[in-house]
A and B are shown apart, each in its own frame.
Chain A
């Protein structure tokens, strides 16, 4: 009796296991009732990817999408091992990684731009400054940076505020910190010692809103009426741009990173349809709702935003 029960159990579990295996790798095969898309990668994108997956369930109930985070590196590693259908990435794949993927699987990774993440530079509302260059930012934030006082930037703060710049940063385990360091300071240099490191995007803006002498970086979605987002230019003398959806989409705002999805080789029909839907007005509206920037300017008109201005 016991033995028979054990055998049955074994049979059931192994068939489940096999069906799991096949469920993923043979999405295009007919006869599988519900097809699954595995979607892994960037923690920045994980909530967005989850929102897409949930919304897509209403669009196409034959496909279920399994989302997990772990970081861009995790997603790329999974793509190289060919254990994932779509890898989410908040940075571009490096040439080394593309080469590895090609060697392992014989296919080239294909990149899909699905949105942008713009970082805004915040100062207190009473601070008269309204634009900075990337070089100046690097001198404010970088190790041994030369700019430590507002007066060095030609700025006189309202009375009562200190001239010394209070530099607000994020803890070093934050992806925002890593992106900011790379985009503004560069790989060769480190952050200044003695920055005040806050735990969350909202905390940075909170602190800046209470402190006239502070400067901080955070997502543009966290703005409130006690802070000001600076216009940023690449080099001193060039025109500076505000962190708006439009400036991010046309690439004029310099501290914005692309949100990407990678597949191995050209995607099959199921995945293609999903990616097309992500790039449709509906999918791009979700980008905006998640606090990120849609890919195309037209979306803004179609979905009647206007609130962001």
Chain B
């Protein structure tokens, strides 16, 4: 009896072990498969007739022109970068501030409440954020700034900031938590105020983790589609002020893939934009990862 149950136990163990291994490996496979398929869809045009210089330097995006088709994505790239940087200018101070408050200044009860609320913020679907941008923020911006249109870079930036704050807060808090208590105690024992302790000791000690939090927030903002499609006004131009509409790379794919005939040039260019986005987020995630690893090795 005893022997059989031990054998059964071992079998169970190895099944579970293998299942876990399969999940781990499949995650890697999926990422590579996605990259492969996206690349395959765009590749034949990418290597044949695709004008790289035009793509990166021209703002003339005319994929459906009847006389002269042009694929200049500069305005779309600038749109994505400007909305993302605006979002980060808003989200990073707020997110890190919230992380510091949650990990250092509030009571455990308040902390739990805060964490639940922030998780709920992360759970709001992006199309709902889009709605908020399209209706509430739009009329607010028109009223406050006396702007002709509220669907602007500012609108998209605020929406994206709200969407990336939860990531920044939770990862930032983890990073702060990872700083050993002895640092805090030592600082306080030397006569620091709590703010001095945070500012002089904690922040430098957790610097890499906080940077990683911000970078993951950037990744979230770059890849977001639905909310920016609805909130930014969808206009191809290099913005000169916060109150001008812009168009992002992701929104362009979302808006145009439906109309582009499969395997046409236009279709493939949209996939090339996908490759570009993939590369951007990949670099960001890799950087964040390397930075986090940097902390561990210290």
B175 at the interface (CB under 8 A from A): no
Q: Which residue of A lies closest to B66 (CB)?
A: A187
Q: Out of B68, B75, B149, which one reaches A196, CB within 8 Å? A: B149
CB pair A196–B234 under 8 Å, yes or no, is: yes
- Residues of B contacting A211 in the complex (Cβ-Cβ under 8 angstroms): 148-149
Tell me the interface secondary structure of chain B in the complex: loop
Q: What distance in Å separates the Cβ of A8 from its nearest Cβ neighbour in chain B?
A: 40
Bound-state Cα–Cα, A189 to B62, Å: 11
CB pair A190–B62 under 8 Å, yes or no, is: yes
Bound-state Cα–Cα, A160 to B234, Å: 25
Q: What distance in Å separates the Cβ of B262 from its nearest Cβ neighbour in chain A?
A: 14
CB pair A173–B256 under 8 Å, yes or no, is: yes
A195 at the interface (CB under 8 A from B): yes
Count residues of chain A with CB under 8 A from any CB of chain B. 25
- Residues of B contacting A173 in the complex (Cβ-Cβ under 8 angstroms): 255-256, 258-259
- Residues of B contacting A160 in the complex (Cβ-Cβ under 8 angstroms): 146
The number of inter-chain residue pairs (CB within 8 angstroms) is: 58
B64 at the interface (CB under 8 A from A): yes
CB pair B60–A166 under 8 Å, yes or no, is: no
- Residues of A contacting B23 in the complex (Cβ-Cβ under 8 angstroms): none
Bound-state Cα–Cα, A211 to B68, Å: 32
Bound-state Cα–Cα, A37 to B236, Å: 44
Q: What distance in Å separates the Cβ of B228 from its nearest Cβ neighbour in chain A?
A: 13
- Residues of B contacting A172 in the complex (Cβ-Cβ under 8 angstroms): 63-64, 256, 259
Q: Please give the residue numbers on chain A whose beta carbons come within 8 Å of chain B beta carbons, in ascending order.
A: 160-162, 166, 171-173, 178, 187-190, 193-199, 207, 210-214
Q: Please give the residue numbers on chain B whose beta carbons come within 8 Å of chain A beta carbons, in ascending order.
A: 59-68, 75, 142, 146, 148-149, 151, 233-237, 245, 247, 255-256, 258-259
* Contacts A166-B148, A210-B142, A213-B148 known; 18 new A-B pairs at CB < 8 A: A162-B148, A171-B234, A171-B256, A173-B258, A187-B66, A190-B62, A190-B68, A193-B75, A193-B237, A196-B149, A196-B151, A196-B245, A197-B247, A198-B234, A199-B234, A211-B149, A214-B148, A214-B149
